[in-house]
A and B are shown apart, each in its own frame.
Chain A
Amino acid sequence: MSSLSKAFTSSIGKKFVMGLTGLFLISFLIVHVSINALIFLNDSGETFNVAADFMGHNIVIRIMEVGLFVGIILHIVQAIILTSQNNAARPEKYAYNKASANSKWYSRSMGLLGTLILMFLVLHLYHFWWPTKVAVYTHQEHNTFQNIVMIFQEPWVVVVYVLGVISLGYHLLHGFQSAFQTMGWNHKKWTPVVKTVGIWFSIIVPIIFALMPISIYLGWIG
Chain B
Amino acid sequence: MSTGNMNLTLQVWRQKNSKSAGKLVDYKLSDISPDMSFLEMFDVLNEQLITKGEEPVVFDHDCREGICGMCSMFINGQPHGPKDLVTTCQLHMRSFKDGDTIVVEPWRAKAFPVIKDLAVDRSAFDRVIAAGGFVSVNTGNAQDANNLPIPKSKADAAFEAAACIGCGACVATCKNASAMLFVSAKISQLALLPQGQPERYRRVQSMVAQMDEEGFGNCTNTGACEAECPKGISLENIARMNRDYLSAKFISEEEV
Which residues of the partner chain A approach B61 to less than 8 Å between Cβ atoms?
none
* B239 within 8 Å of A (CB atoms): yes
On whether the beta carbons of A14 and B218 are closer than 8 Å, the reply is yes
Is A193's beta carbon under 8 Å from chain B?
Answer: no
By beta carbon, the residue of chain B nearest A14 is B218
Q: Is the interface of B mostly helix, strand, loop or mixed?
A: mixed
Check B173 against A82 for contact (C-beta < 8 Å): no
* Residues on the B chain within 8 Å of A186, using CB: 235-236, 239-240, 243
Q: Does A183 contact B (CB under 8 A)?
A: yes
Q: Which residues from chain A contact B247 at a C-beta distance below 8 Å?
A: 184
How many A-B residue pairs have C-beta atoms within 8 angstroms? Tell me: 139
- For A101, the closest partner residue in chain B by CB is B78
Inter-chain contacts of B109 with A (CB < 8 A): 89-90
What residues of A have a CB within 8 angstroms of the CB of B242 in the complex?
Answer: 12, 15-16, 181-184
- Nearest CB in chain B to that of A81: its residue: B218
In this complex, the member of A14, A89, A94, A96 whose beta carbon has the largest number of chain B beta carbons within 10 angstroms is: A89
Minimum C-beta distance from B41 to chain A (A) = 18
CB distance from A202 to the nearest CB of B (A): 15
User: Does chain B have a CB within 8 A of A185?
Assistant: yes
Considering the complex, give the chain B residue whose CB is closest to the CB of A82: B218
Question: Closest CB of chain B to A134's CB: distance in Å?
Answer: 39
Residues of B within 8 A of A89 (CB): 109-111, 176-178, 215-217
In the assembly, what is the distance between CA of A96 and CA of B178, in Å? 19
Does B77 touch A at the CB level, under 8 Å? yes
Main secondary structure of the interface of A (DSSP, over half): helix
If the complex has contacts A15-B218, A85-B217, A96-B105, are A10 and B212 also in contact, measured as CB distance less than 8 A?
yes
Q: Is A47 part of the contact surface with B, judged by Cβ < 8 Å? A: no
User: Interface with A: B42-50, B125-133, B135-143, B219-227, which one?
Assistant: B219-227
Contact of B78 among A3, A10, A92, A98 (CB under 8 A): A98
- Contact partner, B224, options A10, A13, A88, A102, Cβ 8 Å: A102
A58 at the interface (CB under 8 A from B): no
In the complex, what distance in Å separates the CA atom of A102 from the CA atom of B177? 14
With A86-B176, A184-B240, A186-B239 already in contact, the answer to whether A93 and B220 are too (CB < 8 A) is: no
**Contact pattern, B 99-113, Cβ under 8 Å of A = 1, otherwise 0:** 000010100111100
Is there contact, CB below 8 Å, between A101 and B82?
yes
Q: Which of A79-133 contact B (CB under 8 A)?
A: 82, 85-86, 88-99, 101-104, 107-108, 110
Q: How far is the CA of A102 from the CA of B111 in the complex (A)?
A: 22
Give B13's nearest chain A residue, CB to CB: A95
| Docked CA distance A183–B222 (Å) | 15
With contact pairs A86-B175, A95-B103 given, residues A185 and B239 touching in the complex (Cβ less than 8 Å):
yes
| Chain B residues in 8 Å Cβ range of A6 | 209
Find chain B residues with CB under 8 A from A92 CB: 108
The answer to whether A88 and B110 touch across the interface, beta carbons within 8 angstroms, is yes
The contact of B218 among A85, A107, A178, A184, by CB within 8 Å, is A85
- A101's partner among B208, B218, B227, B236 (CB-CB below 8 A) is B227
User: A198–B180 Cα gap in the complex (Å)?
Assistant: 24
Is there an interface contact between A108 and B222, defined as CB atoms closer than 8 Å? yes
> Residues on A close to B: CB < 8 A?
3, 6-7, 10-16, 82, 85-86, 88-99, 101-104, 107-108, 110, 174, 177-178, 181-186
List 22 A–B pairs whose Cβ atoms lie within 8 Å, in order of A's numbering: A11-B178, A82-B220, A86-B176, A88-B215, A89-B111, A89-B215, A89-B217, A90-B176, A94-B108, A98-B77, A98-B78, A101-B227, A103-B224, A103-B227, A107-B221, A108-B220, A177-B221, A181-B239, A183-B246, A184-B243, A184-B244, A186-B240
The 3 closest A-B pairs by CB, nearest first: A184-B243, A98-B77, A186-B239
Chain B residues proximal to chain A, CB less than 8 Å: 11, 13, 24, 74, 76-78, 82, 103, 105, 108-111, 173, 175-178, 180, 208-209, 211-212, 215-224, 227-228, 235-236, 238-247, 249-250, 255
